[in-house]
Structure 1
Amino acid sequence: MSEKLLLIDTDCGIDDAQAIMMALAVPRVKVLGITCCFGNASVEDVCQNVLRVLSVCEKTQIPVFRGAAGPLVGTPDLPISHFGTDGLGDVFEDRDSERWKTPIQTEHAVNSMIRLVSENTGQVSVVALGPLTNLALAVRLDPSFPQKLKNLFIMGGNMEGKGNRTVCGEFNFVMDPESAYIVLEEFLCPTYIASWEFTCRHKLSWDYFDEWINQDTAAARFMKKITSKCWAYSRDTVTSKDVVFGPGFVSYDSYAMAAAIDISVVTGSMECAVRVELQGAVCRGMMALDLCDKLKKQHHVFVMKECDIGKFSQLLMGALRQPCKA
C-alpha cells in the first residue's frame, strides 16, 4: 500500500493529541508537518503541546509551525477550559519552558502549508482538527492552494444544528466562523467532514477508555496523565454530549484522522453542498446542509454519517502503542 502524506493543522488539545498519535502509529503514513492554530489554548501552548506529543512518540523530526493566534475577525475567545487552560489538562509544571519553545520552526504555519503542498502537488491530505484560520489564510495568499491538495478532512461543524460551544454551533467553527465559511466555499478539493453529531453518535465505552489508557507504553502513560484531572474525561461529569447522545468516551478529532488514514472507516456519508452561517445570535458558526440543492452550489462535500467502529477502535488503540520503531 502506498505511503500517505499528511499535513496536520491543529489547536492541540487532548483529543487532537489522540488524533496525532493515531497518525504517528501507522507505518504507511508520513506526516510532513504539523501547523498550529489557536483554539483549545493559545497558539503558543498549542505548539508546546504538539512538541510534547512528538517527544513522547519519539517523532521529533516532524517540523512544528506556529500559525494563527486569533480568528480572522475579532479577538480569540480564550482561555478555554474544556481540556484545561493549556489544552493538555494542566498537569505539566514546565509550561513555557524554553525546551518547548526553541524547536518551533521560524517559518509561519501558513507559508509552510503552501510550500509543503506545492512541493507535493496532488499528494497531500490536510487533516484540520481546529479552527480553520490557517487554511483560510492559505487560500487568501495562494488561491491555487486547494486545487493542489489530494483531499481535505475536517473535524468540525454540525449536521443537525446541535451545538457544543453554542446552542447551534460546534466549537471549531464557532471559534472562527468566517474562516470556516471561506474554506467550505473555496476549497473545491474532495472534502470530508466529521461533524460533532457524527463523532458523538459513534462514541466508545468507558471500559474501552480504561483499557486504552492502561496499556504499558509511554504514549498510554502520557494519555493517562493528561486526562487524569480533566473533567471532560470523568464519567461522573454530565456534558452537553451526554445530555444529547448519552454517556461514553468520544475522541472527537480522531474520527477525521481515521478517515484520512483509511477511508473505509467511513461506511456511510451524505454528499451535498454546505454553508456556514455568519449571522444571527443563535446560529452563527452553524454548518447548514443543503440537501435539496437550494444553494445551487457546484461543489459538494462528504458529510460522514456511519462509521466502522471496529476499525476505528483498532486505530485508536494502536495510537497508544508507542513509540513504534521504524
Structure 2
Amino acid sequence: MVGQSQMTFTAAFSSYIPVFKGSAGPLIGPVTGFKDHFGTDGLGDVLENSEVWKGQIQKEHAVHAMIRLVNENQGEVSLIALGPLANLALAVRLDPSLPQKLKDLYIMGGNMEGKGNLTPSGEFNFSMDAESAYVVLEEYTCSTHIATWEFTCRNKLSWDCFEELVNQDTSAARFIKMITSKCWAYSREPHINNKVFLFGNGFVPYDAFAVAACVDSSVITERLQCAVRVEVQGQLGRGMMVVDAANTLKKGNLAFVMRTCDLKKFSLMLKAALQIA
C-alpha cells in the first residue's frame, strides 16, 4: 500500500501483490510534506519516469482493502506499518473488531528513550500523526511488536555491509543502489539535522527491522513486554511514545518493544531479499 501509511500484508495471497492508496494526511492538522529524506517521489528523485508505477494503484481505498483482506483471512494476516498510522486508526474506527482478527502487528516507529528525530522527544512516524499512533497503541489489542527509532539506530549496520548488499549482481540490488544514490537518508557525512549520528555513523535500514522481525522472530534477540502510550499534548512531548515497564497505566494489552537484534542474521536476510535477478 502507498500513501501516508505504508503497509505490507503477509497472508495467503497469490504472487501478485495489489497496491492501494491510503490516507493523504494525519487525522488532525494540515498535511505536511517532507521531501528531503527520500526525495519528492519517495524514491530518491532518480527515476526517469516515477509516474509509471501509479498505474498499478487499485481503485479501492487502502483502508477498505485492509478491512476486507483481514476479514477474508482472519487469524492469518500479519500487518506491518512502516509510516504514520492514519490508515490503521481509520480502519479500527470503521471496524472496531479488526485487531482481534489479525495474527499480529509490527510497527516501525516511536521511541523508548525520549530521544526524537523530528521533535526533541518524538520520532517522525508517531509525531507526524500523534493521534493515530495513540489510537493504534490503545485499540490494537493483537500481539504488537515495535521497532523504535533508537532500536534501529543502536542496531545499525556498517557501510561495508550496505556496499555488499547493493553491489550484488541482481536487478533488485541495482534498483536499491539507484534510488539511494542521492538520498539524504543514506548520507555518510554528519549533518546538523541528521540525528542518526547521535548513535554513531552507520547504515540504518529502519523499516527492514520490523519486516525482518515479522518474517523470522528469532532475529530479535531481546524484547521488552510493557505498556506503551503516545503523548498527544505538550509542546515538547507530543508524539513521544512512553514506555511504562511497571504498567502504572494498568493496560491489559502489552506491546513487545524490540531491544537487540542478531545483526549477522539480519544482514543475511537483507542480502537474500535483494537476490532477485
**Unaligned stretches of 5+ residues in structure 1:** 1-7, 24-28, 34-58
1:64 corresponding residue in structure 2: 19
2:43 corresponding residue in structure 1: 88
**Unaligned stretches of 5+ residues in structure 2:** none
SS at match of 2:55: coil
User: Mean alpha-carbon deviation: is it higher for 146-155 or for 226-235?
Assistant: 226-235
| 1:9 to 1:136, Cα distance in 2 relative to 1, 3 A | farther
**RMSD of equivalent CA atoms:** 2.0
- Of residues 278, 281, 299 in structure 1, which corresponds to 2:232? 278
- TM-superposed CA distance for 1:32, in Å, is 4.3
| 2:199 corresponds to 1:241 | no
| 2:216 corresponds to 1:262 | yes
Amino acid at match of 1:241: V
1:248-284 deviation per Cα after TM superposition (whole angstroms, max 9, x unaligned):
0000000000000000111111111110000011111
- TM-superposed CA distance for 1:177, in Å, is 0.5
1:179-207 deviation per Cα after TM superposition (whole angstroms, max 9, x unaligned):
00000000000000000000001000011
- Of residues 23, 32, 54 in structure 2, which corresponds to 1:101? 54
| 2:152 corresponds to 1:199 | yes
Asked if the contact 2:4/2:24 (under 8 Å) is kept, the reply is: no
| 2:249 corresponds to 1:305 | no
| 2:123 corresponds to 1:170 | yes
1:274-321 deviation per Cα after TM superposition (whole angstroms, max 9, x unaligned):
100000111110000112221111111000111111111111111211
| 2:146 corresponds to 1:189 | no
Amino acid at match of 1:220: A
2:77 corresponding residue in structure 1: 124
SS at match of 1:288: strand
What CA distance in whole angstroms lies between the structure 2 residues aligned with 1:100 and 1:209? 26
State TM-score, norm by structure 1.
0.80
What CA distance in whole angstroms lies between the structure 1 residues aligned with 2:4 and 2:25? 11
1:155 corresponding residue in structure 2: 108
| 1:260 to 1:224, Cα distance in 2 relative to 1, 3 A | same
Amino acid at match of 2:25: G
- TM-superposed CA distance for 1:31, in Å, is 7.4
1:212 corresponding residue in structure 2: 165
| 1:31 to 1:155, Cα distance in 2 relative to 1, 3 A | farther
- TM-superposed CA distance for 1:103, in Å, is 2.0
- TM-superposed CA distance for 1:95, in Å, is 3.0
| 2:123 corresponds to 1:133 | no
State TM-score, norm by structure 2.
0.94
Asked if the contact 1:10/1:129 (under 8 Å) is kept, the reply is: no
Amino acid at match of 1:85: T
- TM-superposed CA distance for 1:116, in Å, is 0.5
| 1:319 to 1:187, Cα distance in 2 relative to 1, 3 A | same
- Of residues 72, 77, 82 in structure 1, which corresponds to 2:32? 77
Asked if the contact 1:10/1:128 (under 8 Å) is kept, the reply is: no
What CA distance in whole angstroms lies between the structure 1 residues aligned with 2:173 and 2:188? 19
What CA distance in whole angstroms lies between the structure 2 residues aligned with 1:213 and 1:132? 29
| 1:252 to 1:94, Cα distance in 2 relative to 1, 3 A | same
Asked if the contact 1:32/1:63 (under 8 Å) is kept, the reply is: no
What CA distance in whole angstroms lies between the structure 1 residues aligned with 2:205 and 2:180? 12
SS at match of 1:66: coil
Amino acid at match of 2:142: C
What CA distance in whole angstroms lies between the structure 2 residues aligned with 1:10 and 1:205? 30
Amino acid at match of 2:133: A
Aligned length: 275
| 1:313 to 1:10, Cα distance in 2 relative to 1, 3 A | farther
- TM-superposed CA distance for 1:233, in Å, is 1.3
